[in-house]
Structure 1
C-alpha cells in the first residue's frame, strides 16, 4: 500500500491496539497549541540532556512523560520530526496510570519494536502535516534545543 495523508493508522496497522486512538487524537488536536497537544498525551516537560540519540521519551520526576533532546543540538527538521516521533510513542502507554505504563512488550519483541518505530515515524509525518512548523520550532526553542546550521 502506498502511504499518503488520507490513510489512517487503523488502515495501515490495524493489528496495533493504539492505531485507532492515534487517528482520533490527531483529528481532535487540529488547531490546538503544541503545548495543549503535549499535555493531552501527559508530556509535561520537554528538555535537553546529554545523550547519544537525537531524542527520547521517559517517565519524569513528576510521574508524567518527559521528552528529552540531545544537549549538543540537532537540525531544526530533526527536532520537529523527533518531537512528533516521541509523541507517537505515547500511544503505546496507558496514560490513565500514574506513572504511565507501557502496554506493549517491545523490549522483548524485536519485531514489535520495529513496528512501533515505523508507527512513530509515520505518526510524526502525519502530526507535522496538521501542525504549524513554526509553532513546533517555538516549542523546541522554548525547551532549550540548539539547532545546527544545517536546519
Structure 2
C-alpha cells in the first residue's frame, strides 16, 4: 500500500512520527499482528539487531509468506512527545517506513476510529494521546504562520521545504 492509498482508504491510519528519533512514514494497521520496519529504513538505526529464538513465518497482503529471523528490541515510537516502546521486525515494506500492528495497539489499549482516521491511546499517568491520520485530497496540508509559530515555541520538530511543480509552465 502506498502513502496515497492509505490516505484514501478508510480502514487504515497513517502519518509521520518519530521512530528511534528519526522521522518515519508510519502505517497503523489493525490487520497486522506484529509491528514491522522497512529493511531500508532500519539501516539508520543505532539499535542493535537481535536474533529471534524461533523464526517467524509472516503472510503478507498478496498471500506470499516471508520468514523473519531478526528483530529490533526496545525501539521507540514518539507520538506528541510521548514515547511508546516496541519491538520491530525488519522486512521489505513498500510505501512506509514502519507498520504498527496490534501488538502495540492492544498493549496500550488503543481505541481505533477508522471513520475519523483517529486512534486514541490512554497514557499511564492519565490523559490520552490522539493520533489523527492523514486524509486524502480533501485535506489542506498548509497551516497558518501563527499556528507554525506556536508549534515551534512548543519545541515541535520543523522542516523547511521548497516545492516546485516541474510540470507547470512558466509565464
Where on the TM-score scale, by shorter chain, does this alignment land: which range?
A: under 0.3
TM-score where L is the length of structure 1: 0.22
Normalised by the length of structure 2, the TM-score is 0.20
More helix by percentage: 1
